[in-house]
C-alpha cells in the first residue's frame, strides 16, 4: 500500500503495547482499510486491545496516530469508522504523567504527545464533518467535540456548518455538539 509507505520506517519491535511489542501493529493498521469487513474488525480489535486498552495508552499509540490520520486524508472508505473510534480512544486515553516515548531523539510524554498528534489532525476531521457524502461525519464530530484545545477554532466552523447543512438529522447533531462545547 503506497499510502502507508513510511510505516516500515518505525522500529515497531522496540515499541510497547499492552501485551508486548508492537511488531504486529503495521499489519493491523493496513488491515483497517481491508475490503473484507471481518479483517477490518479484527484489525480494529488488535489495535484497540494492544495500543490503547481500556483507555490505557501504550508507547506505540504515539506512533500509530499519524498513520490513522493518513488513512483519513486518503479517499479510502473502508475502515474509516474504526479509525475515528481509535483516534477518539487514543485522544482521550490515559498514561501516567511520567510515561515517555522517544521520537527523533526527544523524550515525549505519551499522554500529552499522543493527544497533541490527534489534535494536529483537526483539519482532516473538520473536512469529514463538512463532506456531505461521508458516512463518518458523526464519528468525526464526536472526535472533534472531545478536542477542547481547538474549541476556539472549531466553534465558528461548526456554526457555519449548521447554517449550511441540508440534512435535518445532521444539523441536529451539529447543534447538539455545539451545545456541549464551552469556550472559556
**137-146 residue pLDDT tens:** 999 999 999 9
Task: Decide if 140 is inside a domain.
Answer: no
Mark 74-101 as b/e (b = at least 16 C-beta within 10 Å).
eebeebbbbbbbbbbbbbebebeeebbb
Q: Rounded to an integer, what distance in angstroms lies between the CA atom of residue 8 and that of residue 103?
A: 15
Joined grid coordinates for residue 184: 472559556
Within-domain flag for 84: yes
Which of the 8 DSSP states describes residue 10? S
Host domain of residue 95 = 2-120
Contact 131, 73 (CB under 8 A): no
Q: Is residue 80 part of a domain?
A: yes
Domain count, the chain: 1
Residue 175 lies in a domain: no
Q: pTM for the full model?
A: 0.94
Kindly state the percentage of the chain with pLDDT values over 90: 90
**Is 67 domain-assigned?**
yes
**Whole-angstrom distance, CA of residue 128 vs CA of residue 122:** 10
Reading the block at residue 70, the C-alpha cell is 493518513
4, pLDDT greater than 70: yes
Whether 96 is in a domain gets the answer: yes
pLDDT digits (tens, 9 = 90+) for 23-33: 999 999 999 99
Amino acid at each position: 500500500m503506497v499510502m502507508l509507505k513510511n510505516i516500515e520506517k518505525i522500529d515497531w519491535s522496540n515499541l510497547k503495547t499492552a501485551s508486548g511489542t508492537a511488531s504486529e501493529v503495521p499489519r493491523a493498521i493496513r488491515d483497517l482499510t481491508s475490503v473484507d469487513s471481518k479483517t477490518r474488525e479484527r484489525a480494529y480489535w488488535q489495535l484497540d486491545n494492544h495500543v490503547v486498552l481500556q483507555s490505557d495508552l501504550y508507547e506505540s499509540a504515539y506512533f500509530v496516530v499519524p498513520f490513522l490520520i493518513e488513512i483519513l486524508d486518503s479517499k479510502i472508505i473502508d475502515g474509516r469508522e474504526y479509525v475515528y473510534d481509535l483516534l477518539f480512544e487514543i485522544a482521550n486515553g490515559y498514561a501516567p504523567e511520567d510515561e515517555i516515548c522517544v521520537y527523533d531523539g526527544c523524550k515525549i510524554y505519551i499522554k500529552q504527545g499522543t493527544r497533541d498528534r490527534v489534535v494536529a489532525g483537526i483539519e482532516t476531521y473538520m473536512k469529514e464533518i463538512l463532506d456531505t457524502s461521508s458516512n463518518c461525519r458523526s464519528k468525526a464530530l464526536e472526535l472533534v467535540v472531545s478536542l477542547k484545545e481547538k474549541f476556539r477554532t472549531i466553534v465558528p466552523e461548526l456554526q457555519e456548518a449548521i447554517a449550511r447543512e441540508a440534512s435535518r438529522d445532521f444539523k441536529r447533531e451539529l447543534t447538539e455538539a455545539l451545545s456541549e462545547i464551552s469556550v472559556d
